[in-house]
Amino acid sequence: MEKILVVEDDRDINDLVVEILKKNGYEAFGALNAREANLFLQIHDFDLILLDLMMPEISGEEFLESLRRDKKLPVIVLSAKISKESKINVLKMGADAFIEKPFDKDELIAIVEANIRRYKDFNGEKDNNKDELSYKDIHIDLNSMSVEVKNKPIKLTPIEYKILLLLMQNPDRIFTRENLYEEVWEDEYFFDSDTINAHISNLRSKLKKASGENYIKTVWSIGYKLI
């Protein structure tokens, strides 16, 4: 299920857009400002962002400019700023589309679907050609499922391998324990933090023994990410 982040300071509009997206089969999250949006982006991998421009403290334009420094996911601007200059400005900054308020829900879904499909097609072509994954001194051969650290092979359990692979595929993302459990164990999370902590500890220990370095950071009260 594709994940969409709605960044809109008007709670009623935010709730409405999230509801429309959920009814059309998407997993949608609502952020009321740029700070909340950045926290969501640290925890989840989104397939698209719907972004309002008129927000307090950090404007939509500022958020978009910051986002485009390291993320390529599609961004659709949803705003009552309808001047030609505003549209041209946000498109030059990296927005993929512009929907004016008030919007038609069918048009909204059509544009969302088109942009997600284009994004997935583009990234799928690149991923199909990839048979090796690297992060700093860690290298994974995706065909043989073997792992080397500083050119030294290390033996990982299947769970440790899946955790490391997930982290390396998303080096900037913070994974909550729930994220890790659902994606690695492929099951619903039932607050089994001891099991997750033990596997992370073992994986961290094996990587450090081979390299003398720490690669996995514990983000207090949230989860784990690569350093």
Tokens of 89: 């400005």
Domain ranges of the chain: 3-127, 132-226
> In tens digits, what is the pLDDT along the chain, a chain of 227 residues?
899 999 999 999 999 999 999 999 999 999 999 999 999 999 998 999 999 998 888 999 999 999 988 888 899 999 886 677 888 888 888 888 888 888 999 999 999 998 898 887 766 544 444 688 999 999 999 888 899 999 999 998 888 999 999 999 999 899 998 888 888 887 777 666 778 888 999 999 999 999 999 999 999 888 999 98
CATH topology of domain 132-226: Arc Repressor Mutant, subunit A (1.10.10)
Please give the pLDDT value at position 89.
81
Dihedral (CA of 87, 93, 99, 101) sign: negative
Residue 227 and residue 225: Cα distance in Å, rounded? 6
Please give the pLDDT value at position 126.
46
Burial 8-28 (b: 16+ CB within 10 A, else e): bbeeebbebbbebbeeeebeb
Please give the pLDDT value at position 157.
86
Residue 35 and residue 211: Cα distance in Å, rounded? 36
Please give the pLDDT value at position 33.
95
Please give the pLDDT value at position 222.
87
Q: Pairing between strand 48-51 and 3-7?
A: parallel
Please give the pLDDT value at position 125.
47
User: Edge-to-edge strand order for the sheet containing 27-31?
Assistant: 27-31, 3-7, 48-51, 75-79, 97-100
Please give the pLDDT value at position 113.
93
- The class level of CATH for 3-127 reads alpha beta
N-term to C-term CA, the chain: 28
Please give the pLDDT value at position 216.
96
Whether 3-127 and 132-226 share one fold: the answer is: no
Are 42 and 110 spatial neighbours (Cβ–Cβ below 8 Å)?
no
Please give the pLDDT value at position 191.
61
Please give the pLDDT value at position 10.
95
| Model confidence, pTM | 0.67
- Say whether 169 sits in a helix, a strand or coil: helix
